A and B are shown apart, each in its own frame.
Chain A
C-alpha cells in the first residue's frame, strides 16, 4: 500500500534491531483472548477506484454551485476566492499540528494573531481567541464564561436565537448544570431579565433576519448585573453596528461565511471576542506577540494557564483542537476583501434580500413575515404549507428555503413560512426564477383545485 514505506526485507531488519523474531512479539501485552481475527471492513481500493466511488457519491447530491438556492439559517453559500484555496491548500499549513513549538510554527502563530486582530476589528472588542468549533459551541462557551464571571446559574435567550444554537446551549447547560430561560421573541426591546441571570444572549440579525435594537437590551442586561452576549453574522458587520459599539461584553458567531465552504455543515468556524477584563476566562488557544532571544518579533501561544493541557480539571474549557485551517481561510478572505470589500459583500446580501422580499412578497397569497429592518434573510409566508412550496421549487431545480414550521411548530404567526437567505452569489435571475415558479404554482393551484383564488390560510 502506497502510504506505507517499508519493504518486507526492511521490516525484518527492523525486527532484528529490536531484538524480536516476529512482529507479534511486540503485541505480547495484548491478552490472547482479546485478539481480533480480522476487521469487518471491505478490501482496499486503488486510488482511481476510490476516486470513482467518491465521485459517484458526490454526484448523488444536488450542489449549490449549479442551481439557485435560498437556504441560509446560519450557513451561507458565499463566493470562495481562488486565493483562499491556494493558501489553505498549502501543505505547510494544512499538514502542520497545533503550534506548540513556536520556533517552527511562526506561520500558523502569526496567522492566528492576524485572525484575532481581524475579529477584534469586526466586533469592536479587544480580545479574541484562535477559534472554536462553530457558532453554536461558541454560544455555549460564552455562556460558561458569563456563569464563571458572575457566579450566577441561569442564562436568558430570546427564542429568535438560532434553534441549532439553543439546542446545543441546552445540551451544555444540562452537562454543566445551569438553566436556560427562553424568553419570548423580542418585541419592543423587552426581555424578562432578573438578578439571577449570568447573561442575556441575543442574536443580531436574529434567526428570522431582523436587525435587533441591541443597545437597549445591553443596557437592560447590565442593569441586572448580567453580561450581554451578542451572536453576530460577521458579514453583517460590514454594515451593522459592531457589538463593541453597543456595550456587548462578549461577541460570538459562525465564521463559515468568511470564505468557507458549506460542506454539509462542517468544518465551520466559531469565533469569540470579549472585553479585556474577561480575557483570562476565554476558552481555547490564544496567540500573542513577543520577541525571540535575538530581540526579533515572534508569536507564541499564550495565557496557557487557562487551558486543559496545563490546568486539566480546572481549565476554562476542555477545547484542544479547534478550527485553525478554517480560521486561516477566513483570515485570507478578510485580507482580500479589505475594508471596502466586506461592506460590499454585506450590501449584496442586503439589497438582494430586499429585492427578493419585495418581489416574492408581492406574489398573490405570499407575504413577508419578518419585521423590518432585516439584513439578508426574511420569512416568507406562503399560501400553502412551506414544504409544498419547496417541493414545487425543487421541481424547477431551485433549492427553496427553510421550512419554519419545523422550527417553530407552536408559533401560529410563522405557520407556512419559509426562511430565505441571500448572499453575493444570489443573482437577480435566481430571484426572478423563483418568483416565476411561485407565480406558476399559485396559478396551477387556482386552475386545478381552487376556483376562488389560491385559498390559502391567509
Chain B
C-alpha cells in the first residue's frame, strides 16, 4: 500500500501551477542580479501536474488516523473534536489576508479579538494579564520561565534551579534548561502526587520556580497544591502551571486560585485548535500582576474605542517570536469560547472527567491501575500484568490499531511501568467509549490466550510494525536526485520511549 515519493512521480516539463505573464517591462535577470549571486542549477523540485499532486497527497492523507476518522485517546494531548465552523471563520479574507505590519487602524477587528481573548483567557485561568505570543506549549513554558527570571532579577536575586515532578511532561525540564536553569526533580508519593515532604526539603533560596501540571500526568488532582504553593512562595520562588491538562478543570477551579503565578495554555488542546499532524499550536501565557510588567511585547491594549499594539513596556523580556503569535489559532480559540460560553465550557470539563472515569471503571479489572481513581480527564493503566506473560504495552498499542483506534500515550509518565495513558476527551459518545472498552478487553483476552496475534500486530494498517532502530542507525532523511548519495552515520537507537504527549 505504499505511495511513491512525489519526486518519483515527476517528469521534466510537467507543471501544476500557472502564473500570469509578468506585466511590467522585463529586464534580463543578469543585469539585475550579477551572475555570481545566482544559483548554478535549479533545485530538483518535482515536476508534476495538479491532478498528480492532489491525488498523491490525498492518498497520503488516507494513510493517517485522525479525529475525524476515529477515536484518538492520547493522554495529555486532549484530542477532541475540531469544530468545522473554526475553519470557515479563520478562512475569512479579513483574517487570513491581513499583514502583520499594517497600521493598527486598519486591523481593529483583529486587535479587538486579541484583546478580548487576552481578557477571556485571564478570566478562565484566574490570572491578571495574558500574552498571546508563544507559538506552542513548550514555547509558553520558555516565555513563562524568562518572566520568572526577570522577576527575580528585578529583586536583585538570581536563583538557579527549577523544580519539576518526576511525572512532568518532557518539555518542562527541557524548557528549564532552555531558560538557563538547573533542573531538580521532585519524586511522586505513593498516592501519585508530588511528595510534599520531599518538596519541602528541596525548596530553598535557590528555587526560582516549581513547575506543575494539575491535574498531573496521572490524571490526579494535586490536592495539596495550596500548601505546595505556599512552601515555594515562602522561599521566594514562583509557581508555574503547565496548562496541558486544563481541560479537566474548566469552570471548576482556576490555576490562579490555586496559587499559581504563571500559566501557559495549549490552545490546540483545551481550546481545540486542530493539531495539524504536529502543529501549529498556540501557547498563550498568563501571569499575576507582579509579573505583568515582564510580558513579551507587544501586548494588545485598548485606548477608548481603539485597540493598539503596545510596545511601551520597559521591563519586558522582549519578543519570543516574530509578530504577535499564531493569530489563525487565536481566531479559532476565540470562536470556540464564544460558541460554548460559560455553561458550555463548564460542561466540557465535566464530561471530560465523566468519560475518563467511565473508561477507567470499565477497564481496571483487566489492567492494573497503579494509582486508583477517581481521576480527572485522563488515567493511567499499567500493562505489567500482560508484560509478565510476554505481551508488552507496545504490542497492545499496536493491536489497538487493528480495532480502528489510535493507541493511548504509552510509556509515559515515566514513573509507571508499561504505562498506558488514556484521555478520551468530552466529545466522544458512549458508543465510542464502549467500543474502545470492548477492544481493550478483547486485547487483554488475546494477550492471555493467543499472544501471537498481539505480538505481531498491527495487521490491517497501511504498513506493518516500523523498524525504528534501522531508521536511527542508518539515517535516510531526505530524497536525493539519483546521482548523489546521502550521508550515512551511525546513531544509537532509543529504548522504550514515550509515544504521545
- Pairwise interchain contact B101-A71, C-beta atoms closer than 8 A: yes
- Pairwise interchain contact B45-A164, C-beta atoms closer than 8 A: no
List the B side residues contacting A335 at CB < 8 Å.
6, 16, 45-46, 48, 53, 56-57
If A176-B178, A265-B327 touch, does A291 touch B470 (CB 8 Å cutoff)? yes
A370 to B: closest C-beta gap in Å: 13
- Pairwise interchain contact B429-A265, C-beta atoms closer than 8 A: no
Residue from B65, B276, B341 in contact with A44 in the complex, judged by beta carbons closer than 8 Å:
B341
List the B side residues contacting A23 at CB < 8 Å.
350, 353-354
Contact with A along B311-340 (1 / 0, CB 8 A): 000000111111111111101000101111
List the B side residues contacting A92 at CB < 8 Å.
61-62, 64, 66, 68-69
If A38-B342, A116-B477, A280-B491 touch, does A27 touch B279 (CB 8 Å cutoff)? no
- Pairwise interchain contact B108-A168, C-beta atoms closer than 8 A: no
A60 on the interface (CB 8 Å rule)?
yes
- Pairwise interchain contact B33-A239, C-beta atoms closer than 8 A: yes
If A41-B342, A302-B468 touch, does A318 touch B253 (CB 8 Å cutoff)? no
- In Å, the complex CA distance between A79 and B64 comes to 28
Interface of B is mostly: loop
If A62-B102, A102-B466, A336-B16 touch, does A242 touch B39 (CB 8 Å cutoff)? yes
List the A side residues contacting B89 at CB < 8 Å.
50-51, 54, 58
Contact with A along B99-118 (1 / 0, CB 8 A): 11111001111101100000
Residue from B141, B343, B348 in contact with A43 in the complex, judged by beta carbons closer than 8 Å:
B343
Most chain B beta-carbon neighbours within 10 Å: one of A105, A122, A296, A424: A105
Within 8 A of A (CB), among B1-30: 1-3, 5-7, 10, 14-17, 19-20, 22-27, 29
- Pairwise interchain contact B472-A26, C-beta atoms closer than 8 A: no
Residue from B16, B268, B324, B472 in contact with A288 in the complex, judged by beta carbons closer than 8 Å:
B472
B173 on the interface (CB 8 Å rule)?
yes
Q: Which of A151-159, A185-193, A341-349, A444-452 contacts B (4 or more CB under 8 A)?
A: A341-349
A290 on the interface (CB 8 Å rule)?
yes
- Pairwise interchain contact B471-A300, C-beta atoms closer than 8 A: yes
- Pairwise interchain contact B64-A50, C-beta atoms closer than 8 A: no
A315 on the interface (CB 8 Å rule)?
yes
- Pairwise interchain contact B61-A107, C-beta atoms closer than 8 A: yes
Look across to chain A and name the residue whose beta carbon is closest to the beta carbon of B248: A27
Most chain A beta-carbon neighbours within 10 Å: one of B183, B427, B471, B475: B471
B159 on the interface (CB 8 Å rule)?
no
A362 on the interface (CB 8 Å rule)?
no
List the B side residues contacting A332 at CB < 8 Å.
53, 57
Within 8 A of B (CB), among A182-212: 211
- Pairwise interchain contact A428-B45, C-beta atoms closer than 8 A: no
- Pairwise interchain contact B43-A63, C-beta atoms closer than 8 A: no
A366 on the interface (CB 8 Å rule)?
no
Q: Which of B77-85, B284-292, B382-390, B444-452 contacts A (4 or more CB under 8 A)?
A: B77-85
- Pairwise interchain contact A101-B54, C-beta atoms closer than 8 A: no
Residue from B32, B101, B108 in contact with A60 in the complex, judged by beta carbons closer than 8 Å:
B108
A160 on the interface (CB 8 Å rule)?
no
- Pairwise interchain contact A86-B54, C-beta atoms closer than 8 A: yes
Residue from B57, B64, B324, B501 in contact with A96 in the complex, judged by beta carbons closer than 8 Å:
B64
List the B side residues contacting A307 at CB < 8 Å.
170
List the A side residues contacting B93 at CB < 8 Å.
58, 63, 65-66
B124 on the interface (CB 8 Å rule)?
yes
B397 on the interface (CB 8 Å rule)?
yes
Residue from A28, A90, A334, A347 in contact with B29 in the complex, judged by beta carbons closer than 8 Å:
A347
If A97-B72, A321-B279 touch, does A292 touch B467 (CB 8 Å cutoff)? yes
Within 8 A of B (CB), among A294-317: 294, 296-300, 302-305, 307-315, 317
A458 on the interface (CB 8 Å rule)?
no
If A41-B123, A71-B101, A305-B492 touch, does A105 touch B64 (CB 8 Å cutoff)? yes
B464 on the interface (CB 8 Å rule)?
yes
- Pairwise interchain contact A286-B477, C-beta atoms closer than 8 A: yes
B174 to A: closest C-beta gap in Å: 4
B430 to A: closest C-beta gap in Å: 5
- In Å, the complex CA distance between A431 and B23 comes to 11
A363 on the interface (CB 8 Å rule)?
no
- Pairwise interchain contact A262-B99, C-beta atoms closer than 8 A: yes
List the A side residues contacting B90 at CB < 8 Å.
263
- Pairwise interchain contact B145-A175, C-beta atoms closer than 8 A: yes
List the A side residues contacting B38 at CB < 8 Å.
239-241
- Pairwise interchain contact A128-B467, C-beta atoms closer than 8 A: no
Extra 18 A-B pairs, beta carbons < 8 Å, given A71-B99, A104-B462, A342-B43: A3-B81, A50-B339, A54-B331, A62-B98, A96-B65, A98-B277, A101-B65, A105-B65, A107-B61, A107-B62, A131-B279, A175-B145, A241-B39, A290-B468, A291-B466, A302-B472, A326-B279, A402-B101
29 contacts between A and B (CB under 8 A): A10-B430, A13-B430, A39-B123, A39-B346, A50-B89, A57-B110, A58-B109, A63-B98, A69-B99, A74-B322, A92-B66, A96-B275, A97-B79, A99-B277, A104-B462, A108-B64, A114-B6, A121-B45, A136-B322, A137-B135, A168-B318, A213-B37, A262-B96, A265-B323, A279-B489, A320-B138, A321-B280, A334-B46, A341-B16
